[in-house]
Amino acid sequence: MTDTPIDLSSQNVFDIMHTTRAMRRLKPDPVPDELIVKILDAGLRAANGGNSQTWHFVVVKDAAIKKAVQAWYKKAFDEVSGPRYADSAPPPGSTADKYPRQHGAVEYLTEHYHEAPVWIVACIKHGDSKPVRMSGASIYPAVQNMLLAARALGLGSTLTTRHMLFAEEADKALQLPAGVLSYAILPIGYPLGKFGPVGRGKLSEFVSFDRVGQPWDALG
């Protein structure tokens, strides 16, 4: 499928998966509530542990809340993510020419994070229990469903988790009650750029057969 042109107007789920790029440059134009409702409804269809549905989604439009969180998001970039990007090699599927453009988009989002017209904050209601390694399994499938739904509706977004480098401070800025923790923020808006094939390495680089490191003949 990756060797043939993709129809960007297609509603085929595989075409949507292959073109759900991280859209970090978004217009500030309002997004109709009915589209956000569709995205949220797609999230609710996702797999989650025991179908316990301990997730909670906060739709944020309040400019003051977004700006308060953006301050921690930027601090995390300045102190952690930015230096790491500057020193890292291009990931699989990218090139030395393309990677700086990704850096630029990341920096743009960092500065304009709060200007996205709508955020969806994906949370888990832990109550008195502590998060464990498997906790994300009950929220990240919903996040991916919402990203795909946004793409299908012509809206741009990207999975952001950097605020969790200052999780306590960011959750306080989000005014989350005790026992509710954020796991991702999806800034949503109409994209300034265009959708297109996502940049990834070859499948054979990431898949083993029976044991890690053992090639699978089916991949050629």
Give per-residue pLDDT as tens, 109-164: 999 999 999 999 999 999 999 999 999 999 999 999 999 999 999 999 999 999 99
Question: What would the two tokens of residue 114 be?
Answer: 């709060």
Q: Is residue 29 part of a domain?
A: yes
DSSP states of 93-148: T--TTTHHHHHHHHHHHHHHGGGSSEEEEEEEE-TTSPP-TTGGGGTHHHHHHHHH
pLDDT for 191? 97
SS3 readout for 44-99: HCCCCHHHCCCEEEEEECCHHHHHHHHHHHHHHHHHHHHHHHHHCCCCCCCCCCCH
Percent of the residues in the chain that have a pLDDT greater than 90, as a whole number: 82
Q: Is residue 58 part of a domain?
A: yes
Residues in Cβ contact with 82 at an 8 Å cutoff, skipping those fewer than 6 apart: 107
pLDDT for 125? 97
Q: Is residue 207 part of a domain?
A: yes
Give per-residue pLDDT as tens, 4-36: 667 778 899 999 999 999 999 999 999 999 999
Q: Is residue 6 part of a domain?
A: no
Give per-residue pLDDT as tens, 150-176: 999 999 999 999 999 999 999 999 999
**Domain range holding 108?**
13-219
Residue 42 has pLDDT above 50, yes or no: yes
Q: Is residue 4 part of a domain?
A: no
To the nearest 10 degrees (0 to 180), the angle between helices 140-152 and 33-44 is 140
CA 24 to chain centre: 10
Q: Is residue 54 part of a domain?
A: yes
> Residue 183's CB: how many other CB atoms inside 10 A?
21
Asked whether 219 and 207 are in contact (CB, 8 A), the reply is: yes
Q: Which residues of 156-173 are buried (b: 16+ CB within 10 A; e: fewer)?
A: bbbbbbbbbbbeebbbeb
Say which CATH number the domain at 205 has. Answer: 3.40.109.10
Q: Is residue 8 part of a domain?
A: no
pLDDT for 4? 62
pLDDT category at 210 given cuts 50, 70, 90 is very high
Half-sphere exposure of 216 (CA within 13 A, CB side): 13
Kindly state the DSSP code that residue 220 receives in the 8-state scheme: -
Q: Is residue 141 part of a domain?
A: yes
pLDDT for 159? 98
Residues in Cβ contact with 111 at an 8 Å cutoff, skipping those fewer than 6 apart: 74
What is the arrangement of strands in the sheet containing 55-60, beginning at the earlier edge strand? 55-60, 118-125, 180-188
pLDDT for 1? 42
SS3 readout for 144-213: HHHHHHHHHCCCECCCECHHHHHHHHHHHHCCCCCCEEEEEEEEEECECCCCCCCCCCCHHHCCCECECC
73 or 95, higher pLDDT = 73
pLDDT for 3? 55
pLDDT for 146? 98
Work out the average pLDDT over 49-62.
Answer: 97
Structurally, how many domains does the chain consist of? 1
Residue 2 has pLDDT above 60, yes or no: no
